[in-house]
Chains A and B, each alone.
Chain A
Amino acid sequence: MAMVNTRKTYARPIAWGIVLVGAVLMLAPFFFTFVLATQPRDRIYQIPPPMWFGSNLLKNIHTLTDMIPYWHNLGMSFYVAVMTTVLALFFCSMAGYAFAMYEFRFKKALFTVVLGSMLLPPFLGLIPTFMLMNFIGWLDQPRALYLPAAAAAFGIFLMRQYISSAVPKELMEAARIDGCGEFRIYWSVVLPLIGPALGTLGLITFISSWNSFLQPLVIMHSPESFTVPVALRSMQSPTNTDWGAVMAGSAIAVLPLLILFALFSRRLIAGLTAGAVKG
């Protein structure tokens, strides 16, 4: 943009300096996660603490898997995140398609309900959700985590926006003349056209499910069914935390997200801000 000022040439290097120092501060905690994950226990407690990688990573992972069923937890996190993502993509694209392409009674009221549900603080539903799951015997069940998370209002909003701009209504009419049923139009005509939006929503859903803490904390009670964040938290002890093992676990938990971000940062950022800019 045209805010570059040619008179004060010293201002830009200073600004760049501040921004780059900030960037280092932003990334430093990740760096230290990986540093501590590779250090033996006694080295972590030495002064000054280690500032570079050691060679104890495998041993720390061993300690980690001895202390908690970490591979189980990782599997649980993956299972819940994948199920949430698949169901959310299916449900949200169907509902978004209906809101974008059909005229029907109560459409406006129903869409208001969808948007309104985004305003409710998740905090409000925590206790009653726990009680409901307790009552229907779903405590410790992964479905208690992925089913509620699959009805994501934000996803419906995102899908509706994308479908109404990317899919022409004439296409549906053409499909109907060719004898397509309504579900068939959604499945074989619309879905293939909205790949980019599905990708974005899938990323956002997977990441938020992977990071989710409060819901699994109250719903998952046995160590085998913990998701990774809850499992990591269970290793924390007020007096005697094994930081090498905890950091190894944290590093493994953070790594898939860093990889996803490295691959898709642009799409992810665009998707997250889509609602903000248009709405």
Chain B
Amino acid sequence: MESVLSPAASVQTRPRKKRIQAWKWAPYLFISPFLIIFCVFGIFPLLFSATLSFAQWDPAAGFGAIKWIHFDNYKFVLTDSWFWKSLGNTVYIAIASGLPQHLVAIPFAAFLSTVIRGRNAVLGAYFVPFITSSVAIALIFSSLFSKDFGAINAILMSLHNLPGIGIIFPDHKIDWLLDTSLVKPTVSFVVFWRYVGWNTVLYLAAMQTIPEDLYEAATLDGAGTFRKFWHITLPMIRPMMFFAVSLTLINNLQLFEEPFILLGDNGGIGQAGMTTAMYMYRTAFYFSDFGTACAISWVMFIVIAVLSYGNHKLFALAGGKEE
């Protein structure tokens, strides 16, 4: 590559300007490793998956065994009660873990933005769950949540025995991971725990870009903490709210690891906590139905895209009203 630009012989003959020109092909070469990998391991699998979602195929039988069945996989998915159940579970967990994340993170970030000493230590404690292995964490929680020997029930029991405030705590051990009505709230809690610090960091970053004099002017006008929060902080962080909510939406709709570890690979008793990602995984690797699994993933892609678009419209609408 170097020799192209610095042929000693041509230095004399070329005009000075020519020498500081970049070699024309250099940028393409610099980008090519990314592009090649992206095409081979990114674009190609997607096209392959889109194709396969219209076929029935046992990979062991070779490419000759691909059988085209048009929209049958999609028809199956859209009329499959398991798919709808898994989608219901996914949306339930997405909302039950996602909404509290933001409802807690925004006031928490507002509080932290007024704190000078000790802020980083507190923020660090909340942020650590986000960077640690979700599998290791889910394993820890499945021990903590276990009915008979889990620390959570033990702590709740000892709180129940406290005089006075004890009555607000349950008087019996709770079967967090086997009671079908508790499975989804329990998984949601673990997901909430994992992402609340991340959202706080995002909101805190946005709040630090709000000009100080807005708050000073409001203080002079006699606005209290809550009014300043409502009329200055919230409107100013709206772009970040849109970004953070979009990320939550996209991540939560692909939720796999926490329910997979906490509840087992079938999503717990009665598939009460089986998410769509888990259902897709099972369809492919337990039932060896790769065509249907690909169709599930494309249906989910459309669901994610539609909800993201709805989210975008919602924020645009809210913005229009405020301004």
Residues of A at under 8 Å CB distance from B? 1-5, 8, 11, 15, 19-20, 22-23, 25-27, 29-30, 32-33, 36, 44-49, 51, 90-92, 94-95, 97-99, 102, 104, 107, 110, 113-114, 117, 120-132, 134-135, 147-148, 150-151, 153, 156, 172-173, 176-177, 179-184, 186, 207, 210-211, 213-214, 218, 228-230, 232-233, 236, 238, 243, 246-247, 249-250, 253-254, 257-258, 261, 265-266, 268-269, 272-273, 276-277, 279
Contacts and interface: CB of A to CB of B under 8 A. Distances in A.
A182 B52 contact: no
Nearest to B207: A1
A273 B224 CA distance: 30
B149 to A, nearest CB: 5
Contacts of A254: 132-133, 136-137
B37 A91 contact: yes
Interface of B: 1-6, 19-24, 26-31, 33-35, 37-38, 41-42, 44-46, 48-49, 52, 59, 108, 110-114, 120, 122-129, 131-137, 139-144, 148-151, 154, 157-158, 193, 197-198, 201-202, 205-207, 209-210, 212, 215-216, 219, 224-225, 228-229, 233, 240, 243-244, 250, 253-254, 256-257, 261, 264, 277, 280-281, 284-285, 290, 293-294, 297-298, 300-301, 304
A150 B37 contact: yes
Contact of A236 (B261, B297, B298): B261
16 contacts: A30-B132, A98-B27, A98-B28, A104-B28, A124-B301, A126-B297, A127-B290, A151-B41, A180-B6, A182-B5, A182-B22, A182-B29, A214-B257, A247-B143, A257-B131, A272-B198
Contact of A124 (B143, B157, B297): B297
Given A1-B210, A126-B280, A127-B293, 5 more contacts: A29-B141, A182-B22, A182-B26, A183-B2, A261-B124
A130 B27 CA distance: 32
A88 to B, nearest CB: 10
Chain A facing B: main interface SS: helix
B132 to A, nearest CB: 5
Contacts of A3: 110, 113-114, 215, 225, 228-229, 233
B190 to A, nearest CB: 9
Please list the 5 inter-chain residue pairs (A to B) with the smallest Cβ-Cβ separation, ordered nearest first: A181-B2, A128-B45, A98-B30, A182-B26, A148-B41
Contacts of B125: 23, 26-27
Given A51-B151, A102-B27, A276-B243, A233 B261 contact: yes
Contacts of A153: 38
A266 B120 contact: yes
